[in-house]
Amino acid sequence: MARLLRALWGLPFLEASPRASRCPLVGGGLGARAGHGDAGSVTKHEPSLTKSEWRKKLTPEQFHVTREKGTEPPFSGIYLNNKESGMYHCVCCDSPLFSSEKKYSSGTGWPSFSEAHGTAGSDESNTGILRRVDTSLGSVRTEVVCKHCEAHLGHVFPDGPGPTGQRFCINSVALKFKPGKH
């Protein structure tokens, strides 16, 4: 069954607890595939650059966060207190990810957004992000990556404002801001 699912979804098989498989906020369960935020997984793109090419293109901090799944220190990001209107793009591939209209101050130390750009209700298939199960710290979290180049952006948590109740906690160093109306 795991081989069939891996072939259908094009994602590596991840062991997850039964609780995580049922949770619609975690991108690894069947609920996520059925329209709760990870429908774009079947259209993911492979990274077009090698590790050494990414190192040349990005600063050391950008490389660490986006390619090695690092995290910038809290309250250190250049976009944490940015209040300009515009669009936040992926620092690696320039894909539009988050609109300033959905940015809010969560007090957590990282730029926070209530939804990804292109979201329609609970449908994220037209966004530039994917959700993935992250068990790296011994608990189940939902990682957010760029759909086009698979850059690690941050995580999403179910403690955000209404109506979505989501908090996309995104590293500033993974973003490039472009001013304008959005």
* DSSP structural state of residue 111: -
Q: How far is it, in rounded angstroms, from Cα 124 to Cα 97?
A: 11
The dihedral through the CA atoms of 89, 95, 99, 103 has a sign that is: negative
Catalytic residue among 23, 92, 93, 169: 169
Residue 62: how many CB atoms within 10 A of its CB?
22
The yes-or-no answer on residue 90 being catalytic is no
Q: How far is it, in rounded angstroms, from Cα 139 to Cα 158?
A: 15
Strands (E), 26-181: 86-90, 96-99, 103-104, 112-113, 129-134, 141-146, 152-157, 167-170, 175-179
What DSSP assignment string belongs to 4-68? HHHHHH--------HHHHH-TTSTTSHHHHTTSS-GGGGG-----S-HHHHHHHS-HHHHHHHHH
Active site residues: 169
